[in-house]
Structure 1
Amino acid sequence: MKLLSCMLPLTMLLLTGCVSQYSITEEELEGYLSDEIHFEVKEGNQLFGIEMRINNIDVELGHKADTMSVTADSVIKIKNPLVPFKANMKTTFEAEPWYDAQSHSVYLKQLTLVSIESDPKDIEKAVKQVAPQMMGFLTNFLETQPVYVLDTSESNQALIADMTKQIKVEPGKLKLIFDE
């Protein structure tokens, strides 16, 4: 019994030491977004409309202080009777990630559009005309959906989820902070 009482504090110390270094990598965020986030917009009617679908999302953490960069590869189709077209777009946003302790989720706020590129290039002018509407859809989507959720069905992440109070952006990772 004496051995058990000595081992318990040592075990807790070791567990606390392991847990205090937990972070979420860019690759984990990209994997979560690829598996969990499915963005598709269809607006309009038979003659006029916009369709947009995200195919791929890349994440960069810490290239600026407290900033997460999200680059989305999208396919856009514009329907109109005169000049319908289809294009591939690459949009890059910067945002501040924040942690919601109640839902154990990471969200984005203060999204800023950094760049838009399109292929083919000759329709870039037309894409830029509808870009504000499309970016509104995408911004609203990215600000209201979590970009990562800790899996509380897994015991280690459940413990981490209960202890995490906030996050800190570091190059290549989101560091989970356990005290305020």
Structure 2
Amino acid sequence: MKIFRSLIPLFMLLLTGCVSQYSITESELEGYLSDEIHFEVKEGNQFFGIEMRINNIDVKLGHKPGIMSVTADSVVKVRNPLLPINADMKTTFEAEPWYDAQSHSVYLRQLRLIGIESNPKDIEKAVKQVAPQMMGFLTHFLETQPVYVLDTSDSNQALIAEMTKRIKVMPGKLKLIFD
């Protein structure tokens, strides 16, 4: 029994060394967002209103120090009797990801809209007029929902979740830091 107790610290040291390089990749973030995040807005009535639904999200990590880029492909419908709009829209945001150790989740803060593109191009001017309202919905959604949650039902991720205190943005990945 004494030998077993003396091996526990060695085992924990080895285990810590194994998980000290754990990171979350861009594709893992995209997979989580595709599976877990469903964003759809319907505002207004049958005559005037906005509908917006995200179809796809792409993530880039570390293209700028400490920054995560999120590009969302959306379908946008603006209802009004004079100029109804149906468009595909691509919006790109930059944000600082941060780790909440209590919920074992990655969130975004300080979201900044970097660009908007729409298809068809000839209605881009009209889409940009309603873009602030639509971007407000999307910004609020992205800042209040986790973009990744460690799965504490998986024993490996549960251990990592307990040890992780913060994250560091690296090119192509979020490195989990155990302080």
**With structure 2 as the length reference, what TM-score do the two structures score?**
0.96
* SS at 1:47 equivalent: coil
Say whether 1:100 aligns with 2:96.
Answer: no
* SS at 1:13 equivalent: helix
Specify the code of the residue in structure 2 equivalent to 1:111.
L
Q: Offset at 1:83?
A: 1.6
Distance in 2 (CA, whole Å) between partners of 1:62 and 1:70 is: 12
Q: For residues 8-32 of structure 1, what are the alpha-carbon distances to aligned partners after superposition, in whole Å with 9 as ceiling and x for unaligned?
A: 4443222111111111100110000
Q: Offset at 1:84?
A: 1.0
Distance in 2 (CA, whole Å) between partners of 1:153 and 1:9 is: 24
- Which residues of structure 1 form unaligned runs of 5+? none
Q: Offset at 1:3?
A: 5.7
Distance in 2 (CA, whole Å) between partners of 1:85 and 1:48 is: 11
Q: Offset at 1:4?
A: 3.9
* SS at 1:108 equivalent: strand
Distance in 1 (CA, whole Å) between partners of 2:52 and 2:8 is: 55
Specify the code of the residue in structure 1 equivalent to 2:153.
S
Q: For residues 22-58 of structure 1, what are the alpha-carbon distances to aligned partners after superposition, in whole Å with 9 as ceiling and x for unaligned?
A: 1110011000000000000001111111000000000
Where does 1:5-154 land on structure 2 (aligned, <5 Å)? 7-154=7-154
Distance in 2 (CA, whole Å) between partners of 1:7 and 1:165 is: 26
Q: For residues 84-139 of structure 1, what are the alpha-carbon distances to aligned partners after superposition, in whole Å with 9 as ceiling and x for unaligned?
A: 12000000000000111111100000000000000000000000000000000000
- Which residues of structure 2 form unaligned runs of 5+? none
Aligned-residue identity in percent:
83
Distance in 2 (CA, whole Å) between partners of 1:119 and 1:98 is: 33
Distance in 2 (CA, whole Å) between partners of 1:93 and 1:5 is: 51
Distance in 1 (CA, whole Å) between partners of 2:167 and 2:105 is: 10
Distance in 1 (CA, whole Å) between partners of 2:4 and 2:161 is: 28
Specify the code of the residue in structure 2 equivalent to 1:139.
T
Distance in 2 (CA, whole Å) between partners of 1:57 and 1:119 is: 17
**With structure 1 as the length reference, what TM-score do the two structures score?**
0.95
